[in-house]
Structure 1
Amino acid sequence: MEGGMDFLNCLDLDMSVQILMYLKDPSDLARVSSVSRSWRDFVIANGLFKQLCLRMFPQLSRVARVMELNKCGAKEPVEVGSSYSTEWESLARDHRVYATLARVCTSFLPEDCISKAISASSTDNYPDESIENTLQPADIVPHRPLYWSSKGQKNPAVPETLIYKLKSEFCVITEIKIRPFEAYFQPGSPIYSAKSVRFQMGHPKSPNDLGSHLPGDPLPSADDTFIWTYTSPEYPMAQESCLQKFTLPEPVLCIGGILQIELLGRVQTQEVDGLFYICMSYVQVMGCSLSPALRVEILEPSGTFVLKKDMQGKFHTQPGLPENEAREIPNDRWQRRIRYLQHFVDILQGNANVVIEEYESGEEEDEAEEEYPV
């Protein structure tokens, strides 16, 4: 703004970073980077997109390094010139990769991310009641029902697990939908739901752990086979034969492409044997596959990983969100945000006569005042 001052030059580094990290929308941070060359350099030098991504997805704390890939493979900085040049190229590469990740994870078109079923902790009659049946949206095929059933248990507290492989080893997941099975062919049409459900995401301990495993084959303990990097809260499940939606508190990065559904507690007995069963007819995992444009390479045995960006990769984002541009924000709204930050700086400098300009709507004011961790 003409005649104004650049608060990045007036405050110490930590305070400037803290102010800019109040921006929670990646497109806002992209617009900050477009204000001037000095602002762009500030965003890059302080890794603000990386900090934003870490705030959105704590799983990224295990990133060992990032890489950009072109047709010839890895795009690494050339070891010439000063060490400062090499360090700056590394910072700029981090900026590009994390900016892409942040944009895609907030603008994707949700889709079903399940690739295949891996295993169930138990199956009553394989293959007729296999976990693979849960991938079909219709619970009835000609002349027979379609569902997965656990083995019967006398103890209703015995849990079951269903494990699926996602479409890629790098996905962002927002919600899981599950439909319990209603046994219309049994007296009273009982519904074999669970009492509650919980979700875990992660990766195999070894790339060869799954091998040629088939859903009907016995699988060693899941905790011995997989490393779980995320565990959801526990959600109650209704004893209803409908597609029940379980929305995660925040979108989650699944690093490794493995999802486990924990079905906790049994509510329904089968009349013929008096045992408790859990049966599910359909499972859907909603989110977005980030590969091949973004991918991960897990480094064993450390469990850290390399985050890679394919320079040729494309994403499917929401209409109106161009792949290489920040979302458009009305100019007057953007100017109000800039003025708000400027007034905030004035207050920090002890100018008690400054009155913060109010936003046009209470909703925007609340958004501006909300605190976000750095």
Structure 2
Amino acid sequence: MEICMDFLSCLDHDTSMKILMYLEDPSDLVRAGSVSRSWRDFVIANGLCKQLCLSMFPHLLRVDCVIEPSCVKEKASEVGCSKYVEWETLKREHKAYAFLAQGCLSFPFEECIKDAISASSTDNYPEESIRNTLQPGNRYWSSKGQRKAAVPETLVYKLVADICVITEINIQPFQAYFQYGSPIYSAESVRFRLGHPKCPMDDTLSEPLDDSSDDKFIWTYSSSEFPMAQKSCLQNFKLPEPVVCIGGILQIELLRRVQRQEMDGLFYICVAHVQVKGRPLSSAFGVEMLGPSGKFVLKAKSSTPPSLPEDASCRDVHLHGLVDSGQMVNLLGGEVLIEYDRNSEDDEAADEMDDELPF
């Protein structure tokens, strides 16, 4: 312990990268970047937080660039140094991706549906509108009747944020107690799609439409089929792994009809309630879609985390306030308070680096 050695300075670049890439928690990478200035520069210069975030959530590979709308400093125009501009970009991405990865893992779970956009068909509008599925109760959405059981239906919803990490969808089929035998109008199976509009949508949505909507949205994720039980309860469909929805649109595909209505002999699908569980990141991030390319601009709007629920786990608490041996590394607040052990070479560069402290 009497001899201190920086192993990163003793190893080649590839070996150092391999070691640090074993860190699978964004808070660990932030701590690694807080060990010393040389470690901080290594983490930022090699985009380790970005690489970790993209490996965890591959849909974020469509990020074209990261911007901070609230940032008004433009030192690059004064300095005119391409290396400075590149370094500022790397620092901005380091902070944004570290916070984004952290938020995807530790923001509180919430109900993620904001409103209903459309249903592929509605039997009696507005009495049986898709909007009836937003709240539990006695009302419901009903499709039009079909002679063929194979005809599918789709329900499209707007989520509460442009970026949401979706983990599960819950659907309750409707049971018609007012009909003989109290039939349950479930589908045989369901499938989920996540995506974004081809054109910008207003925040205030109009009345839901009868429309399949495939020509209005670009779907970037499609799940496998989940079997649906013919039971009048809130049925849970958990995705195999959390999925980042970029663009805030969910489509529920209801595949194959099960129940025929006795009075007309037609097949129907009816849904009483829909829930979507996940982590909305609206307080921290926004997106700007870049046309049909599927690429988007990630807007880092804020670095202040939402309040955690009272029953949050210890892991979540440590992710939001990174505390280590009395040292507060407040990633979400945008500051890192660190006292470095400097040698003589560090002292010479200290003044030049003061404005480049992490975050």
1:325 counterpart = 2:285: no
1:56 counterpart = 2:47: no
The Cα shift of 1:175 comes to 1.0
Partner of 1:246, secondary structure, is: strand
The Cα shift of 1:288 comes to 2.2
**Equivalents in 1 of 2:267, 2:40: separation in Å?**
61
123-132 or 311-320: which moved more? 311-320
8 Å CA contact 2:184–2:230 kept in 1: the answer is: yes
- For 1:112, the equivalent position in structure 2 comes to 111
Whichever residue aligns with residue 25 of structure 2, its letter is D
- For 1:39, the equivalent position in structure 2 comes to 39
CA RMSD, Structure 1 to Structure 2 (Å): 2.5
- Deviation string, structure 1 residues 138-170 (Cα, Å, up to 9, x no partner): 2x2xxxxx1111111121111110000011212
- For 2:306, the equivalent position in structure 1 comes to 315
Partner of 2:172, secondary structure, is: strand
The Cα shift of 1:16 comes to 2.2
**Equivalents in 2 of 1:158, 1:315: separation in Å?**
43
Partner of 1:106, secondary structure, is: helix
4+ long deviations beyond 3 Å: 1-7, 73-77, 208-213, 311-314, 316-320, 322-325, 327-331
Whichever residue aligns with residue 242 of structure 1, its letter is C
Q: Unmatched 5+ residue regions in structure 2?
A: 328-359
**Equivalents in 2 of 1:36, 1:76: separation in Å?**
27
1:170 counterpart = 2:163: yes
- For 2:125, the equivalent position in structure 1 comes to 126
- For 2:258, the equivalent position in structure 1 comes to 267
- For 1:206, the equivalent position in structure 2 comes to 199
- Deviation string, structure 1 residues 36-86 (Cα, Å, up to 9, x no partner): 22222111111111111111211111111101132xx65555331532222
The Cα shift of 1:263 comes to 0.8
Shift in alpha-carbon separation, 1:210–1:160, aligned structure 2, 3 A: farther
**Equivalents in 2 of 1:11, 1:114: separation in Å?**
50
8 Å CA contact 2:196–2:219 kept in 1: the answer is: yes
- For 1:151, the equivalent position in structure 2 comes to 144
2:280 to 289, 299, 319: 289
Shift in alpha-carbon separation, 1:316–1:248, aligned structure 2, 3 A: farther
The Cα shift of 1:327 comes to 6.3
The Cα shift of 1:178 comes to 0.8
Shift in alpha-carbon separation, 1:265–1:41, aligned structure 2, 3 A: same
**Equivalents in 2 of 1:187, 1:9: separation in Å?**
78
**Equivalents in 2 of 1:180, 1:74: separation in Å?**
51
- For 1:231, the equivalent position in structure 2 comes to 222
Shift in alpha-carbon separation, 1:314–1:46, aligned structure 2, 3 A: same
Q: Unmatched 5+ residue regions in structure 1?
A: 141-145, 332-374
What's the TM-score once normalised by structure 1's chain length? 0.79
- Deviation string, structure 1 residues 91-115 (Cα, Å, up to 9, x no partner): 0000001111111111111111111
Partner of 1:224, secondary structure, is: coil
1:3 counterpart = 2:3: yes
The Cα shift of 1:135 comes to 0.5
Whichever residue aligns with residue 191 of structure 2, its letter is R
- For 1:90, the equivalent position in structure 2 comes to 89
254-263 or 267-276: which moved more? 267-276
Shift in alpha-carbon separation, 1:317–1:49, aligned structure 2, 3 A: farther
Shift in alpha-carbon separation, 1:82–1:283, aligned structure 2, 3 A: same
Whichever residue aligns with residue 296 of structure 2, its letter is F
Partner of 1:308, secondary structure, is: strand
**Equivalents in 1 of 2:172, 2:325: separation in Å?**
40
The Cα shift of 1:176 comes to 0.8
Partner of 1:78, secondary structure, is: helix
Partner of 2:103, secondary structure, is: helix
